[in-house]
Amino acid sequence: MTTKTLAVILFTRAEAEWLAPAACELARGLDAHLIGVVPVLPFFVHDAAGFDPVVIPTIAKWQTEETDAIRALFEEAVRRADVRGEFRAQERVAAPTEEFALAATRAADVIVMAPKGDGGSSEPTDRLRAPIIRLSGRPVLIMPRDAALTAAPSRLLIGWSDTREATRAAHDALTLAAPGARIDLLAVRSGRAEVHAMDARQDFAAALDRLGYSAELIDRDGPAGEISRTLMEVATERDAELVVTGAFGHSAVYDFVIGAVTSDLLDAPKRPVLLSK
């Protein structure tokens, strides 16, 4: 499987400054088409706070300027990297922001997005990051500013578990993996969890070997609440260029109670992380 289309979400000018060139590098490395997507956030005016007819045009003007600046950054990056790029900015309030972002990214094989921590993120933009992972139906590559993925990775670590999301992630990873890549399949068990005879992880490893990858099974014991930490520790040990795992296996409420793996990985990962739902 190959990546033919990448979509990169550029929320702010500050983010676009480093993410647009990084996404272009990756698009060039993969020989993929790149779509730059700029969602525009709605703004609200509260009557009770004193309605000022000057405010709305001012915000609108600022948004247009911001979008134009992001477009300039994107187009410059596309030109420098010499990739096939396409720019999609949301026309103001034409559709809800989430709908626009989902429609524009669902056509891509992989979506590229910055983590929460990097490059002028704000609360409203951060709130949009989770729905894109949850609802797009495409794998999302979380690209940290200091550890960008620039080509197809040749060392991958897949966090394997018996869930739909992790299964999606494991298979989605092959969209990006370089031919002959080393792919580690990590299972983290807490305590005395049962090991089944019909373990699909072994079948998957065998399938990877047939495809010319070199698959390895890794098992770790770890407390259920710290799976993301174990995952990143093993990633460091194995010097993985890309960490892959399922996202939001549970409902938002459950995530909140347990301290979810996904949020940890979305906040400030040290390595590129591919999340699938």
Determine if 92 is a binding residue for another protein (CB under 8 A). no
Among 48, 195, 197, 253, binds another protein (CB under 8 A): 197
Q: Residue 128 or residue 148: which is nearer to another protein going by CB? A: 128
Q: How far apart are CA 246 and CA 160, in angstroms?
A: 8
Cβ proximity of 84 and 33 under 8 Å: yes
Mask of contacts with another protein, 94-133, x by CB under 8 A?
Answer: -----x--xxx-xxxx------------------------
Q: Residue 87 in 3-state DSSP?
A: strand
Q: Nearest distance from residue 204's CB to another protein, in Å?
A: 3
Q: Nearest distance from residue 17's CB to another protein, in Å?
A: 26
Among 116, 182, 201, 271, binds another protein (CB under 8 A): 201
Question: Any idea which residue has 């045009």 for tokens?
Answer: 57
Q: Residue 59 or residue 252: which is nearer to another protein going by CB? A: 252
Cβ proximity of 273 and 176 under 8 Å: no
Instruction: Give the angle subtended at the CA of 89 by the CAs of 85 and 94, to the nearest 5°.
Output: 145
Determine if 224 is a binding residue for another protein (CB under 8 A). no
Q: Nearest distance from residue 211's CB to another protein, in Å?
A: 6
Q: Residue 172 or residue 241: which is nearer to another protein going by CB? A: 172
Determine if 136 is a binding residue for another protein (CB under 8 A). yes
Q: Residue 178 or residue 207: which is nearer to another protein going by CB? A: 207
The CB density around residue 124, as the number of other CB atoms within 10 Å, is: 12
Restricted to residues 253-272, the positions that interact with another protein (CB under 8 A) are none
Sign of torsion over alpha carbons 73, 115, 220, 277: negative
SS (H, E, C) 132-151: HHHHCCCCEEECCCCCCCCC
Single out the residue of 266, 84, 77, 238 nearest to residue 153, CA to CA: 238
Q: Which residues bind another protein (CB under 8 A)?
A: 1-2, 4-5, 33, 99, 102-104, 106-109, 134-138, 162-168, 170-171, 196-207, 210-211, 246, 277
